[in-house]
């Protein structure tokens, strides 16, 4: 079957990024599980087209044929066919009332991955005078920017900023937990677990704000897949900047999965940091503005701790290949797990694009560094990243590590810090006379009679945190 480029986008982005006219018509369709009845084909047209292309070339799609998927060997979409028009980019958002929680978090994650791709490419451009290289970066970056717009457009405007924030924090919890569970490097795993308990507490604080300002229960947004209760108290997370710098573990000698996971977490946390930097001044309520300000500073700390795990000596071309390989890995992972067909078609389309980006980045690495990408990256993708419940794991980490803080590059119990440690001076400076993340709980109790929690697996694993606070 011969399918034109136009038809390809029609069935790929296109059942997703449908034209505005189609979007209006689709609004009348009945929805089930976040999709219209017309969006439940047994096999997506995009995948069908890709399989026919491979079949004509004498191959089968590795991702669905039982053999391993090697992005360094797979064929992608030619770069000159990747640009889309505005109607193809501005598509139909998901139904906020029916979308699966992990579809929402996959969209948030991949938006952050594309933002990181664009930011990195701009930084690379500013560190070279090579005109040919700058043009190549500009070409692929423009595609990455279109991908970001198509993904960001899937989030509906009817979701309030705070509801989106709940999605961000659910992603932070379940992404970090999954990465920690699968991280081969012990130090990197410890860093992930340390940050996990802080994002877990942020979810609890924002959930209380949502409940008493908008009357909405965050457990419904997270589909009851992630518990909502105190983690390491945010007021205790404020450390001196020196104590958020970690030891590098990623690089040429690191396990390939470590390199991918560190970059993924940097991109996700960076997006959250940037989001709070931009929306923190939108609320009217002082407590909401304070919450964004305080937690936004912790997101800065998290970006610092994760990015300092990276190998700063890696060449720019090698970093570019790492970014493109990671995008292939993540789009493939999202595609394998996605339950909403029209969203899955986005992941399939973008994977086809990223395979070509990776090929071009590999050629650049050979030309500039005289190295083959096969020397740096595995010949088959690691186990697909999955966004899934991590309740038992989070509870275990809470019970064992809630009392930890950082001392230089290492982690220690707060009780073991000397009285003159810089941690205490910094705490006194920033917490001062008002701590928004504590005040939000007090205001919720004053408004609702008790704090808001969602504990599906029983009492809190930390005894001191078990009694939900009540008025009086």
Beta pairing, strands 31-32 & 35-36: antiparallel
- Residue 214 in tokens: 């908008």
Q: Determine the angle formed by the axes of helices 101-125 and 316-337, rounding to 10 degrees.
A: 170
Kindly tell me if the per-residue pLDDT of 326 is higher than 90.
yes
Is residue 253 within 8 A of residue 198, CB to CB? The reply is no
Is residue 93 within 8 A of residue 156, CB to CB? The reply is yes
Q: Measured between alpha carbons, how far is 44 from 64 in angstroms, rounded to an integer? A: 13
- Residue 407 belongs to what H/E stretch? strand 404-407
Least confident of 158-162, 364-368, 375-379, 462-466: 375-379
Is residue 252 within 8 A of residue 246, CB to CB? The reply is no
- Residue 348 in tokens: 């399939």
| Residue 470 lies inside a defined structural domain of this protein | no
Kindly tell me if the per-residue pLDDT of 84 is higher than 80.
yes
DSSP 8-state symbol, 35: E
Reference 297, options 238, 371, 378, 346; nearest CA is: 238
| Residue 471 lies inside a defined structural domain of this protein | no
State phi, psi for 182 to the nearest 5 degrees. Answer: -110, 5
Could you tell me what percent of the chain has a pLDDT over 90? 81
Q: Is 138 left (phi over 0), alpha (psi -120 to 50) or beta?
A: alpha
Sorting pLDDT into bands at 50, 70 and 90, what band is 226? Answer: very high
Predicted confidence at residue 128, as pLDDT, reads 98
Sorting pLDDT into bands at 50, 70 and 90, what band is 68? Answer: confident
Q: Measured between alpha carbons, how far is 428 from 422 in angstroms, rounded to an integer? A: 10
Cα of 469 vs its chain's centroid, Å: 32
Total domain count, the chain: 1
What 3-state DSSP class applies to 414? helix
Is residue 101 within 8 A of residue 218, CB to CB? The reply is no
Q: Measured between alpha carbons, how far is 315 from 293 in angstroms, rounded to an integer? A: 35
Is residue 412 within 8 A of residue 405, CB to CB? The reply is yes
Q: Find the mean pLDDT for residues 439-462.
A: 97
- Cβ neighbours of residue 28 under 8 Å, at least 6 residues apart? none
Predicted confidence at residue 469, as pLDDT, reads 76
Kindly tell me if the per-residue pLDDT of 440 is higher than 50.
yes
Q: Measured between alpha carbons, how far is 365 from 318 in angstroms, rounded to an integer? A: 6
- Residue 292 in tokens: 């964004």
Beta pairing, strands 404-407 & 410-413: antiparallel
Q: Find the mean pLDDT for residues 69-74.
A: 93
Higher pLDDT, 121 or 6: 121
Q: Measured between alpha carbons, how far is 369 from 353 in angstroms, rounded to an integer? A: 24
Direct distance between the N- and C-terminal alpha carbons of the chain, in angstroms, rounded to an integer: 72
Give the structural domain span for 454: 5-465
Kindly tell me if the per-residue pLDDT of 261 is higher than 60.
yes
Q: How many CB atoms lie within 10 A of CB 316?
A: 18
Over residues 265-309, the pLDDT tens digits come to 999 999 999 999 999 999 999 999 999 999 999 999 999 999 999
Q: Measured between alpha carbons, how far is 332 from 346 in angstroms, rounded to an integer? A: 11
Predicted confidence at residue 472, as pLDDT, reads 62
Q: Measured between alpha carbons, how far is 63 from 173 in angstroms, rounded to an integer? A: 28
Q: Measured between alpha carbons, how far is 276 from 283 in angstroms, rounded to an integer? A: 11
- Burial category of 431 from C-beta neighbours within 10 Å (exposed 0-12, middle 13-18, buried 19 and up): middle
What residues form DSSP beta bridges with 60? none
- Cβ neighbours of residue 95 under 8 Å, at least 6 residues apart? 31, 34, 35, 156
Reference 105, options 272, 230, 329; nearest CA is: 272
Q: Measured between alpha carbons, how far is 44 from 342 in angstroms, rounded to an integer? A: 8
* Cα within 13 Å of Cα(273), Cβ side: 18
Is residue 410 within 8 A of residue 209, CB to CB? The reply is no
> What's the pTM?
0.88
Higher pLDDT, 239 or 39: 239
DSSP string, 379-400: SS--SPP-----HHHHHHHHHH
Over residues 96-151, the pLDDT tens digits come to 999 999 999 999 999 999 999 999 999 999 999 999 999 999 999 999 999 999 99
Could you tell me what percent of the chain has a pLDDT over 70? 86
Predicted confidence at residue 377, as pLDDT, reads 87
Average pLDDT, the chain: 88
Is residue 9 within 8 A of residue 84, CB to CB? The reply is yes
Reference 195, options 312, 330, 301, 309; nearest CA is: 301
Predicted confidence at residue 67, as pLDDT, reads 55
Q: Measured between alpha carbons, how far is 168 from 276 in angstroms, rounded to an integer? A: 10
Sorting pLDDT into bands at 50, 70 and 90, what band is 13? Answer: very low
DSSP 8-state symbol, 374: G
């Amino acid at each position: 079957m011969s399918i034109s480029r136009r038809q390809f986008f029609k069935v790929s982005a296109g059942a997703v990024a449908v034209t505005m006219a189609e979007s209006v018509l689709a609004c009348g369709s009945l929805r089930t599980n976040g999709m219209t009845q017309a969006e439940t084909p047994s096999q997506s047209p995009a995948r069908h087209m890709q399989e026919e292309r491979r079949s004509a070339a004498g191959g089968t799609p590795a991702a669905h044929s039982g053999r391993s998927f090697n992005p360094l060997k797979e064929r992608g979409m030619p770069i000159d066919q990747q640009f889309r028009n505005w109607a193809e980019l501005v598509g139909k958002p998901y139904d906020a009332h029916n979308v699966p929680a992990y579809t929402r978090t996959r969209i948030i994650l991949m938006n952050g991955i594309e933002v990181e791709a664009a930011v990195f490419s701009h930084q690379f451009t500013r560190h070279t005078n090579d005109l040919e290289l700058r043009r190549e970066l500009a070409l692929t970056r423009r595609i990455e920017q279109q991908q970001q717009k198509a993904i960001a457009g899937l989030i509906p405007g009817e979701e309030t900023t705070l509801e989106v924030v709940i999605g961000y924090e659910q992603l932070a919890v379940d992404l970090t937990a999954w990465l920690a569970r699968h991280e081969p490097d012990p130090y990197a795993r410890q860093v992930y677990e340390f940050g996990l308990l802080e994002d877990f507490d942020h979810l609890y604080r924002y959930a209380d704000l949502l409940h008493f300002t908008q009357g909405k229960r965050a457990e419904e947004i997270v589909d009851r897949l992630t518990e909502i209760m105190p983690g390491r108290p945010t007021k205790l997370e404020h450390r001196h900047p020196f104590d958020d710098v970690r030891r590098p573990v990623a690089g040429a000698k690191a396990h390939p999965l470590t390199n991918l996971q560190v970059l993924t977490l940097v991109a996700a946390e960076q997006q959250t940091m940037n989001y709070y930097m931009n929306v923190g001044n939108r609320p009217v309520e002082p407590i909401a503005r304070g919450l964004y300000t305080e937690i936004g500073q912790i997101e800065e700390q998290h970006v610092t701790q994760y990015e300092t795990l990276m190998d700063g000596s890696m060449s720019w071309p090698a970093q570019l290949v790492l970014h493109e390989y990671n995008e292939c890995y993540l789009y493939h992972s999202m595609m394998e797990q996605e339950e909403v067909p029209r969203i899955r078609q986005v992941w399939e389309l973008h994977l086809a694009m990223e395979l070509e980006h990776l090929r071009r980045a590999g050629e650049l690495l050979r030309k500039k560094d005289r190295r083959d990408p096969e020397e740096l990256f595995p010949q088959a993708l690691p186990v697909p990243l999955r966004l899934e419940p991590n309740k038992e794991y989070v509870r275990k980490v809470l019970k064992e590590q809630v009392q930890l803080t950082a001392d230089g590059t290492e982690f220690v119990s707060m009780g073991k810090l000397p009285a003159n440690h810089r941690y205490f001076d910094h705490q006194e400076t920033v917490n001062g006379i008002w701590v928004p993340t504590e005040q939000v709980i007090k205001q919720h109790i004053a408004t609702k009679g008790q704090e808001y929690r969602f504990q599906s697996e029983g009492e809190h694993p930390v005894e001191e945190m078990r009694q939900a606070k009540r008025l009086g």
